[in-house]
């Protein structure tokens, strides 16, 4: 990824927290800060915002429970995004979920002090969309995507935590320990 041009892939919650005017104030503020920053970068021509097809599907399902104003705000955010839909197979989704489950079983405490999710099919599709685009993955649910920064060299900053408006980056020794694990390497293949 080129340092002066950024691609951001947004998770569903990044859109929902900005569109929901009655949700948790800290999350709404974090989303507002992020969207202000990213829209400025897009206007300058230094970034694009990608929205995985899976996120659009999730938002479509959720739209039935949202108010008309929330749906309008979601649509406005989607208007500044470019849809991404890399080909993903059931086998690839399954491989991503296996790697996540393996990390959770063997590195959970090292990676997150015990807070790591298995990752569902939707999360796998979103993760792969970001990976295929070589983009920053933005989410408030980092526990679902902790595999992501481990798929890149250690110094890369590619998992953005909306909750703290900063990147998640593991210590170099943690990254090295994961990639020294023969079982993890086999799962990655």
Residue 84 within a domain: yes
Residue 179 within a domain: yes
Q: Return the pLDDT at 113.
A: 59
Residue 1 within a domain: no
Do the beta carbons of residue 161 and residue 140 sit within 8 Å? yes
Residue 135 within a domain: yes
Q: Return the pLDDT at 1.
A: 43
Q: What is the pTM of this model?
A: 0.91
Q: Return the pLDDT at 169.
A: 87
**Strand 136-139 and strand 159-161: pairing?**
parallel
Do the beta carbons of residue 173 and residue 183 sit within 8 Å? no
Q: Which residues contact 61 (CB under 8 A, 6 or more apart)?
A: none
Q: Measure the CA–CA gap between 83 and 81, rounded to whole angstroms.
A: 6
Structural domain count of the chain: 1
Per-residue pLDDT of the chain (189 residues; tens, 9 = 90+): 445 789 999 999 999 999 887 778 898 899 999 999 999 999 999 999 999 999 999 999 999 999 999 999 999 999 999 999 988 788 989 999 999 999 988 987 887 755 677 778 899 999 999 999 999 999 999 888 999 999 999 989 999 999 888 998 889 999 999 999 999 999 998
Give me the sheet containing 82-84, strands edge to edge.
Answer: 82-84, 47-52, 6-10, 136-139, 159-161, 166-168
**Domain at 56, CATH number:** 3.40.50.1010
pLDDT tens-digit series, residues 3-33: 578 999 999 999 999 988 777 889 889 999 9
Residue 149 within a domain: yes
Residue 103 within a domain: yes
Q: What is the DSSP letter of 4?
A: T
What is the domain range of residue 47? 6-188
Q: Return the pLDDT at 114.
A: 52
Residue 115 within a domain: yes
């Amino acid at each position: 990824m080129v340092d002066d041009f950024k691609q951001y892939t947004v998770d569903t919650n990044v859109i929902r927290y900005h569109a929901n005017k009655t949700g948790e104030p800290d999350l709404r503020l974090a989303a507002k800060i992020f969207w202000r920053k990213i829209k400025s970068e897009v206007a300058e021509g230094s970034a694009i915002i990608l929205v995985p097809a899976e996120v659009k599907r999730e938002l479509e399902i959720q739209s039935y429970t949202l108010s008309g104003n929330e749906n309008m705000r979601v649509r406005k955010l989607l208007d500044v995004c470019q849809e991404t839909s890399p080909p993903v197979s059931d086998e690839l989704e399954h491989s991503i979920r296996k790697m996540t489950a393996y990390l959770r079983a063997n590195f959970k405490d090292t990676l997150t002090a015990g807070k790591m999710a298995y990752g569902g099919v939707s999360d796998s599709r979103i993760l792969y969309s970001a990976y295929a685009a070589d983009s920053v993955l933005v989410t408030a649910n980092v526990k679902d995507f902790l595999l992501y920064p481990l798929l890149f060299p250690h110094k890369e900053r590619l998992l953005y935590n909306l909750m703290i408006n900063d990147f998640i980056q593991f210590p170099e020794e943690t990254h090295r320990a994961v990639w020294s694990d023969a079982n993890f390497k086999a799962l990655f293949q």
